[in-house]
Amino acid sequence: MVLTFQVAADHAGIRLDRYIQICIPRLSRTRVQEIVRASAFRPDGSRRVPSDIVREGEIVLLVRERMIEPEVPLGFDVLLDDGAVLAVDKPPGLPMHPTATYHKHTLSYQLRERYGPEGGYVPAIAHRLDRETSGVVLCGRTREAERSLKMGFEAHRMRKSYLAVVRGELVEDTRLIELAMAPVTSGLHVLMQIRSEGGLAARTELQVRERRAGHSLVELFPHTGRQHQLRVHLAAIGHSIVGDKLYGPEREAPFLEYIDNGMVLTPELRARLGHERQALHAHSVTFAHPVSGEETTVRSPLPADLRALWAALGTGEPAL
């Protein structure tokens, strides 16, 4: 399999390993350097090294053995499509963008398959959700709409809400969590931690929707957009999200077991986690429409797997 990247002007002059890390997000620097040494070539067939400097317009080739991608849900429902904004309901387990593990089994690839190139401009994803998180994802159907949506997220003008099933019954019906966050200094590089000194401000509003059998169904309103913010904040107050492999009671141990087992969730690990995936759902996004300027809200109902999880804790549908 050959992956082809053409260097844009704004990436010219940087090291090859840094460029590949930009093209394939969420890879560690060490992993990128391994990939470059094993797989990076020039069009003339000569090998490349991580310290090579890339030039505008040049072609970078990664020649790799064909990936056997893990199976994921590939379909998605359309919540809104008005020619400027496309809102899709991302299923749990579907990654947003290509990584070292996923290529065709990603939302960005599925959008390209469904809408382009014959259909014109391929919808561009304006923000991100974790692979296991389900729910609303906004995409721009034009370059102008894409730019408007991305600027709205960067400026925190979008109002988002999430639904989550968490461990423990919260005492308060409402709560404001204001705990600064920063990346961990050792261990898994993807992890975030609470850090009062030198951390970035992070603010989450929480409302309890229902309590059942030692668990709570909560709606979350993030006022900032830090990586893993909701998961870290909930774990910090002692109410981690059910199924969270990184921030649950065992911290990252379930995640490492999951990876070591070839990304297969064993029955024993599933029982410890309480669910197949983190019980977190992007419920709604409210934004100023890029064309009309009118306030627009897109909602996604709680998906079937989380409804089943909540039903197993008691009786009746969630109180939403």
The pTM is what?
0.78
pLDDT at 155 over 80: yes
Instruction: Clarify whether residues 83 and 167 are in a common domain.
Output: yes
Instruction: Clarify whether residues 166 and 208 are in a common domain.
Output: yes
At residue 159, the pLDDT reads: 97
Domains identified in the chain, total number: 2
Instruction: Clarify whether residues 129 and 32 are in a common domain.
Output: no
At residue 117, the pLDDT reads: 66
Q: Considering only 15-29, 157-171, 175-189, 263-277, which range has the smallest mean pLDDT?
A: 15-29
Is 70 within the bounds of a domain? no
Q: pLDDT: is 115 or 210 the higher one?
A: 210
Q: Considering only 12-26, 126-140, 262-276, which range has the smallest mean pLDDT?
A: 12-26
pLDDT at 132 over 60: yes
pLDDT, averaged across the chain? 90
pLDDT at 125 over 60: yes
3-state secondary structure the chain: CEEEEECCHHHCCCEHHHHHHHHCCCCCHHHHHHHHHHHEECCCCCECCCCCECCCCCEEEEECCCCCCCCCCCCCEEEEECCCEEEEEECCCCCCCCCCCCCCCCHHHHHHHHHCCCCCCCCEECCCCCCCCEEEEEEECCHHHHHHHHHHHHCCCCEEEEEEEEECCCCCCEEEEECCEEECCCCCCCCEEECCCCCECCEEEEEEEEEECCEEEEEEEECCCCCCHHHHHHHHCCCCECCCCCCECCECHHHHHHHHCCCCCCHHHHHHHCCCCCCEEEEEEEEECCCCCCEEEEECCCCHHHHHHHHCCCCCCCCC
With CA atoms as reference, report the closest residue to 103 among 134, 125, 72: 72
Is 31 within the bounds of a domain? yes
Q: Which residues are catalytic?
A: 130
Please give the Cα distance from 206 to 32 (Å, whole number): 38
At residue 100, the pLDDT reads: 66
pLDDT at 222 over 60: yes
Is 318 within the bounds of a domain? no
pLDDT at 115 over 70: yes
Q: Considering only 40-49, 99-108, 116-125, 298-307, which range has the smallest mean pLDDT?
A: 116-125
The CATH number covering residue 19 comes to: 3.10.290.10
Is 160 within the bounds of a domain? yes
Within a 13 Å sphere around the CA of 238, how many CA atoms are in the beta-carbon half? 5
Tell me the residue range of the domain where 101 lies. 77-311
At residue 319, the pLDDT reads: 62
At residue 299, the pLDDT reads: 98
At residue 38, the pLDDT reads: 87
Is 69 within the bounds of a domain? no
pLDDT at 26 over 80: no
At residue 189, the pLDDT reads: 75
Instruction: Clarify whether residues 137 and 266 are in a common domain.
Output: yes
Is 233 within the bounds of a domain? yes
pLDDT at 66 over 80: no
At residue 316, the pLDDT reads: 66
pLDDT at 195 over 80: yes
Instruction: Clarify whether residues 49 and 88 are in a common domain.
Output: no
pLDDT band at 119 (very low <50, low <70, confident <90, very high): low
Task: Give the whole-number percent of the chain exceeding pLDDT 70.
Answer: 94
Q: pLDDT: is 46 or 245 the higher one?
A: 245
Instruction: Clarify whether residues 190 and 238 are in a common domain.
Output: yes
- Tell which of 15, 30, 63 closes a domain: 63
The CATH number covering residue 147 comes to: 3.30.2350.10
Instruction: Clarify whether residues 289 and 186 are in a common domain.
Output: yes
At residue 120, the pLDDT reads: 67
pLDDT at 204 over 90: yes
Instruction: Clarify whether residues 85 and 14 are in a common domain.
Output: no
Instruction: Clarify whether residues 174 and 51 are in a common domain.
Output: no
Is 43 within the bounds of a domain? yes
pLDDT at 2 over 80: no
Instruction: Clarify whether residues 81 and 59 are in a common domain.
Output: no
- Tell which of 40, 63, 86 closes a domain: 63
- Averaged pLDDT for residues 171-177: 97
Instruction: Clarify whether residues 24 and 83 are in a common domain.
Output: no
pLDDT band at 32 (very low <50, low <70, confident <90, very high): confident
At residue 67, the pLDDT reads: 57
Is 57 within the bounds of a domain? yes
Instruction: Clarify whether residues 25 and 173 are in a common domain.
Output: no
